[in-house]
Amino acid sequence: MDKDRIKGSVEEAKGSMKESAGKVTGDAKLEVEGRNEKAAGRVQNAVGGVKDAVREATKK
């Protein structure tokens, strides 16, 4: 598993928590920040997935 996938998952989780906290407290800025972090985490996770796929393809 690529380190980008791990970091992406962590970033996604942090974003989800911030987004939820923003919704609960009514803090729109925190909610948007959380959504952005979550999206960035998804992208980073996808990049890691591509790296894993390339690595697997080159092994064969």
pLDDT tens, residue by residue, 3-49 = 999 999 999 999 999 999 999 999 999 999 999 999 999 999 999 99
First to last CA, the chain: 17
Distances (CA, A) of 60 to 1, 10, 48, 57: 17, 30, 19, 6
Both structure tokens of 3: 């380190």
pLDDT of residue 44: 96
Report the pLDDT value the prediction gives residue 9, as an integer from 0 to 100.
95
Quick check: pTM over 0.85?
no
Going by pLDDT thresholds of 50, 70 and 90, the confidence category of residue 2 is: confident
For 60, the 3-state DSSP assignment is coil
